[in-house]
Structure 1
Amino acid sequence: MTIRVLNCQSRLSLRRYIVSAKLYSSGGQAIDVAVVANKISKVMMSSPQPVLDSALDQSGLRVSPEVVENVLNRFRNAGLLAYRFFQWSEKQRHYEHSVRAYHMMIESTAKIKQYKLMWDLINSMRKKKTLNIETFCIVMRKYARAQKVDEAIYAFNVMEKYDLPPNLVAFNGLLSALCKSKNVRKAQEIFEKMRDRFTPDSKTYSILLAGWGKEPNLPKAREVFRDMINAGCDPDIVTYSMMVDILCKAGRVAEALGIVRSMNPSICKPTTFIYSVLVHTCGTENRLEEAVDTFLEMERSGIEPDVAVFNSLIGAFCKANRMKNVYRVLKEMKVKGVTPNSKSCNIILRHLIDRGEKDEAFDVFRKMIKVCEPDADTYTMMIKMFCEKKEMKTADKVWKYMRKKGVFPSMHTFSVLINGLCEERDTQKACVLLEEMIEMGIRPSGVTFGRLRQLLLKDGREDVLKFLNEKMNLLVNDPLCD
């Protein structure tokens, strides 16, 4: 089996593309950032790793900080591919990486657990004297998300060595990283030890409040709230939002509504986020009338609904299987000048697919892509749906359309298509896709790789399995280093 062949026709296509992909016209007029980023993305997605640098060189495309940030954002789920582009762009004349570009790259490498590359980037920033508190907040957040709690704390403690003495912002960053990764008990322990070193503010308490709410532990959340009041920190809109969210998750909608109604609008006015939480909770608890009443109460109070509140209402109607009302909400959004987003689309599609109404789901998908930009989750749902229907040609069409639109596939998008191909015993296409996934720096799940492995062994293709295993070894985890 040939895993990847750059044949004559593809080379010619690449050459034609390179000729047409110049950044500057003969008059030297700069083209729009998004246009340039889109052209670079196409080169990156169509060029094998060994020739990527030369393909980018031959394209004649010139980068700016804005272009690089745009491209890195598009390839945020493909850390190694993004890193190759990051390295290439750094060599271009009259260009220097922005702090934001470094931060995006640090996030991407950490996401695929390439921690040595991540620290190389940090040390590069150190040499350029561009390190800041946010850099280490990102590192702490990424380590905590990977459940590397000790490493997250290490990143906080090592800041001094990098000439960045930790302050309250860094302290809050560490607590936030731990709380968001469901390590609130550790966060509370660190808070108690260091509260005298860093005087807590309302944000500190709100972070702990959110952490206990996520646990969930309502009594502990109430304790933190009381501690906040006793420390002389007045609750702000973030704190109120947290309490409403926590109470709603605990099923205490009436109490949450009571808090909202007791808020003094002249001091702290309820936000659309608070109402979106209330409407969403009522909807998930099958309290449709209350969801609608809460939405109308918000409008009566003079708060204009945004897409998040509309999405909560759409979700409530979907839960009650009131599709006519869903489409009425979409019309109301249009009247009010609120554009649906990918989440609006995903809520409706997920409901229709779960109910087995797959033809209607595809019809909604085709209509929604004309008014909003679908995300990777949208395409993943559609590809999975067609794989389950054994309509692999249509699944492939959706895949190609997604790539054409410049939406980068997530690990789940690759997985559903590879699993679908395995189901059809199309191991050749599945292997090509898995190799592409690995080359983009996305580590396949054990289930996906295991399934393909079994098929290759059945087919007696140990040679291909060995090749893919070698590719996988490029994505091994690196130890902590500074």
Structure 2
Amino acid sequence: MAYNGRSSSRAYKGLFQTLFNVGTSNPRFVHSCPASLIQNILKFRRDKTTDQLHRALDQCGVDLNHHLVLDVLRRHRSDWRPAHVFFNWSKTDGYEPSSDVCNEILDILGKMQRFQELHQVLDEMSNREGLVDEKMFATLLRRFVGAHKVDDAIQLFRRRKEFGLEPGSEAFRTLLMWLCRFKHVEEAETLFHNVMKKGFSADIKTWNVILNGWCVLGNAHEAKRVWRDIVASPCKPDVFTYATFIKALTKKGKLGMALRLFRGMLDKGCKPDVVICNCIIDALCFKKRIPEALEIFRDMSERGCEPNVATYNSLIKYMCKIRRMEKVYELVDEMERRNGSCLPNVVTYCCLLKSLKEPGEVHEVLGRMERNGCSMNDDVYNLVLRLYMKWDDEDGVRKTWEEMERSGWGPDRRSYTIMIHEHFEKGRVKDVVRYFEEMVAKGMVPEPRTEKLISSLNIRVKGRTEKQEDVEEERTGL
């Protein structure tokens, strides 16, 4: 008898439910049953041909809808073939994929760099009006550029009208942004200037994308050139332009130029925002020019630019280093009074913890942290563990370790690394070996420095053992 496609699906439905234990009598499968069933069919038939997989899917007897198709695709985000097979099969019985479904399969294929299959899906989609939206187009650009297929990304952009999308300035900025994000800044700028020659009117937002690209790349020379081009153009630098360039200058240690730009903003009536002020304050603190940093900090509120937690943290971090602890706690008190975006966070409390001199002070800081509603995390636990190990406070180490286990924040690889290296510094070889073995038994991969330490320890132990054997042989006369 000839195979009759999906007409036989009902006959096989009971069989598949039995095979995969997804009967409706079991309440825990009610929601996930269809997606799990399809996932299992694809999983246990990985070695089958596409036609065989399609026949197996025909027999599962599920009713397709957008939610189900999307669910199945998302379960195969890192496994392109079953996702692609299922997507193609879903269209064989009159089901038309939604925009979200198409976006998902394109993202999967692009992520796995299956561009031949991606183009096939895309060509089919171009026949359906209104299916490709801006979100999907951005996904495609990201995947092409992420695979360094710059020409393909540019060609795709030129096809926007085929998909019913206008080639506007926002879409062009999206293309430039992805090119810059994947370090194709030179290509992005060349494209930008070529488009300008054809009459495209560049605004400051588009210039900012190119400037930010060079700044993120760490190329201060090219960033300066683009800055000069912006100043010479009809566009006026905005706050983001200044923020981008000032941040790049401070990262390169060019504080003098950054300060000139900062003051130039004020002279031109362009108010610096909190990001710019934080950048300048942090750079001044790094250069130990604390009084100047405090002056800018005090002037912020007068200019209508309220500080945030990052502003305070920059000052606190460097004041802790120079042991200006009275001023540090004065700033922390001020943060607590201001509340809102100024409330101390994990970074604040880590700065305070690092400045402590003895174990008894830890509870004070952690108590203050708890009162302000700031939760412990793995960074704080590991820092406290390191401090107790440094002070050789066994009780503090034990309690911290137990609390990490109870809270679920560890012990993680960092915790074991701290214990191994600190015990080694104190000459406790047995403890080093114990923590290393426990770490490896939990499936954690040691850091290179830890592996190096253990290797050197093994060589020393082996050498010592061989010496003992030689002495024993001499003593017994063997």
Which amino acid is the alignment partner of residue 241 of structure 2? T
- Is the contact made by 1:279 and 1:313 (CA closer than 8 Å) also made in structure 2? yes
SS of the residue corresponding to residue 264 of structure 1 reads helix
The letter of the residue matching 1:395 is G
- Matching residue within 170, 174, 181 for 2:217: 181
Distance, in Å, in 1 between the alignment partners of 2:193 and 2:293 is 38
* 161-170 vs 379-388, which moves further: 379-388
Q: From 345, 348, 359, give the equivalent of 1:310.
A: 345
- What corresponds to 1:367 in structure 2? 407
Shift of 1:260: 1.6
Among 291, 294, 302, which residue is 2:331 paired with? 294
Decide whether aligned partners of structure 1 residues 42 and 392 sit closer, same or farther in structure 2, where only a CA change above 3 A counts.
farther
Question: Deviation per CA, 1:79-108, whole angstroms, max 9, x where unpaired?
Answer: 637996797588577872332333244334
Contact 1:65 1:98 in 2 (8 A): yes
Partners of 2:274 and 2:307 within 8 A in 1 = yes
Distance 1:249 1:158, change over 3 A: farther
The answer as to whether partners of 2:176 and 2:188 remain within 8 angstroms in 1 is yes
Structure 1, 284-293 or 118-127: larger mean CA deviation: 284-293
Give the aligned partner of residue 150 of structure 2.
Answer: 115
Aligned partner of 2:76 in structure 1 is 43
Which of the pair has the greater relative contact order for Cα pairs under 8 Å at 6+ separation?
A: 1
1:395 to 438, 443, 447: 443
Paired with 2:122 and 2:402, the residues of 1 have a C-alpha distance of 40
SS at match of 1:270: coil
Q: Tell me which of 264, 274, 280 is aligned to 1:243.
A: 280
Give a deviation string over 1:46-102, Cα, whole Å, max 9, x none.
x3x4443013445799865567778999x7994637996797588577872332333
Q: Pick one of 81, 85, 102 that aligns with 2:137.
A: 102
> 2:209 & 2:373 partners in 1: Cα distance?
36
Q: 1:99-141 CA distances to partner (integer Å, 9 max, x unpaired)?
A: 2333244334434433234334423336443444454445545
Give the conservation status (yes or no) of the 8 Å contact 1:314–1:326. no
Per mean C-alpha deviation after superposition, the further-off stretch among 123-132 and 166-175 is 123-132
Quote how far apart the aligned CAs of 1:209 are.
1.4
Tell me, yes or no, if structure 1 residue 269 matches structure 2 residue 306. Answer: yes
CA contact (8 A) 1:283 1:313 kept: no
CA contact (8 A) 1:143 1:151 kept: yes
Q: Which moved more, 1:255-264 or 1:103-112?
A: 103-112
Q: Which residue of 2 aligns with 1:206?
A: 243
Q: CA deviation at 1:162?
A: 7.8
SS at match of 1:235: coil
Q: Which moved more, 1:379-388 or 1:273-282?
A: 379-388
Does the 8 Å contact 2:144/2:150 carry over to 1? yes
Amino acid at match of 2:149: Q
Q: Give 2:160's aligned amino acid.
A: M
Q: Give the number of aligned pairs.
A: 374
SS at match of 1:262: helix
Q: Which residue of 2 aligns with 1:447?
A: none
The AA in structure 1 aligned to 2:407 is: K
Change (3 A) 1:348 1:191: same
Shift of 1:193: 3.5
In the TM superposition, residue 294 of structure 1 has moved relative to its aligned partner by: 2.3
CA contact (8 A) 1:110 1:118 kept: yes
Identical amino acids, percent of aligned pairs = 18
Change (3 A) 1:85 1:329: farther
Q: Aligned in 2, Cα 1:302/1:319: closer, same or farther, shift over 3 Å?
A: closer
1:153 correspondence with 2:189: yes
Q: Please name the residue that 1:191 is paired with.
A: 227
Alignment of 1:331-346 (within 5 A): 345=378
Are 1:80 and 2:113 counterparts? yes
1:125 aligns with 2:173: no
Letter in 1 for 2:288: G
Q: Which amino acid aligns with 1:103?
A: A
Is the partner of 1:195 in helix, strand or coil? helix
Instruction: Note if contact 2:110-2:140 (Cα within 8 Å) is conserved in structure 1.
Output: no
Give distance in 2, aligned partners of 1:8 and 1:265.
67
- 1:218 is displaced (CA, Å) by 0.8
Q: Highest Rg: 1 or 2?
A: 2
Q: Structure 1 residues 316, 162: closer, same or farther in 2, change over 3 A?
A: farther
Rate the CA distance shift 1:185–1:335 in 2: closer, same or farther, 3 A.
same
Q: Per-residue deviation at 1:168? A: 1.4
Distance 1:67 1:9, change over 3 A: closer
**Which of these residues, 146, 164, 167, is aligned with residue 203 of structure 2?**
167
Read off the aligned partner of 2:259 and give its amino acid letter: R
1:233-290 Cα deviation digits (max 9, x unpaired) = 3333343233223323333344323212222358222223323433444467776665
Is 1:79–1:109's contact at 8 Å kept on the other side of the alignment?
A: no
CA-atom RMSD, angstroms? Answer: 5.5
- Residue 453 of structure 1: aligned partner: none
Residue 416 of structure 1: how far off its partner (Å) = 8.7
What letter corresponds to residue 209 of structure 1 in structure 2?
A: I
Instruction: From 315, 330, 334, give the equivalent of 1:278.
Output: 315
Equivalent residues in 2 for 1:352-431 (5 A)?
364=404, 367-368=407-408, 394-395=442-443
Secondary structure of 1:221's match?
helix
Equivalent residues of 1:79, 1:108 under 8 A apart: no
Shift in Å, 1:212: 0.8
| CA offsets 1:169-217 (integer angstroms, 9 cap, x no match) | 1112221222222223322222223413222233322322112111111
When residues 333 and 264 of structure 1 are mapped into structure 2, their CA distance, relative to the original with a 3 A threshold, is same
Relative to 1, partners in 2 of residues 1:268 and 1:22: Cα closer, same or farther, differing over 3 Å? farther
Partner of 2:85: 54
With normalisation by structure 2, the TM-score equals: 0.58
2:308 and 2:342 in contact (8 A); partners too = no
Q: Deviations over 1:385-435 (max 9, x none)?
A: 999868566338x9xxxxxxxxxxxxxxxx999xx9xx9xxxxxxxxxxxx
Partner of residue 9, structure 2: none
Using a 3 Å threshold, how does the CA distance of structure 1 residues 58 and 223 change in structure 2: closer, same or farther?
Answer: same
Tell me the distance in 1 between the aligned counterparts of 2:184 and 2:76. Answer: 36
Paired with 2:283 and 2:351, the residues of 1 have a C-alpha distance of 19
Corresponding residue of 1:215: 252
Q: 1:216 to 1:266 in 2, by over 3 A?
A: closer
